[in-house]
Amino acid sequence: MAETLALTAATKAARYAELLPQIDALTAGESDLTANLANTAAALRQAFGFFWVGFYLVKGDELVLGPFQGPIACTRIRKGRGVCGGSWAQARTLLVPDVEQFPGHIACSSDSKSEIVVPVLKNGEVVAVLDVDSDQLNDFDADDQAALEQLMQRAAQWF
């Protein structure tokens, strides 16, 4: 397993293209879910400097905080609540350019300005969501969505 990430690309799409195979390599020999989610959150934050990167896991009728990188966060989110609960309920990615314009947004931190939440689908069911928050407005676009959805398709095999 590599001990450091090798990231040289200047554009975001190219950086994701460099990063995804390295996350594959980091997780390939590891069967433990927590270990793989933890390294994925760390790799994404290290590569892009996002404000908060982490996972919420579906447990019963709630999402429960899982491995993350960043400031402390809310521990439980109900289905349909906030961006994370909305992504779970709709089983699709939610891209929010300005969290203050999103009805029901759950503010774990007032420094969070924009957000993307990508569900992890296993056999058609949402088992977790990846939440990435930025302290900049409008920080996520179709490049983030495409790369993070690809990453979460691979993450489904860890569950």
Q: Rounded to 5 degrees, what angle do the CA atoms 57, 61, 63 make? A: 25
Residue among 19, 83, 127, 148 that touches ligand SME (CB under 6 A) = 83
Please give the Cα distance from 101 to 119 (Å, whole number).
21
Taking CB under 6 A as the rule, which mask of x and - marks residues 29-58 in contact with ligand SME?
Answer: -----------------------x------
Residue 64 makes contact with ligand SME by CB under 6 A:
no
Residue 156 makes contact with ligand SME by CB under 6 A:
no
Task: Tell me the closest approach of the beta carbon of residue 131 to ligand SME, in angstroms.
Answer: 5
Task: Tell me the closest approach of the beta carbon of residue 82 to ligand SME, in angstroms.
Answer: 3
Find the residue with minimal CB distance to ligand SME.
82
Amino acid at 130: L
Task: Tell me the closest approach of the beta carbon of residue 19 to ligand SME, in angstroms.
Answer: 21
Terminal-residue alpha carbon distance, the chain: 21
Query: Do the bridges between strand 62-69 and strand 52-59 make them parallel or antiparallel, or are there none, so unpaired?
Result: antiparallel
Q: Rounded to 5 degrees, what angle do the CA atoms 4, 15, 120 make? A: 90
- What the block records as the tokens of 155 is 């993450």
**What does the binding site for ligand SME look like in residue numbers (CB under 6 A)?**
52, 73-74, 77, 82-84, 105-106, 108, 112, 115, 131, 133
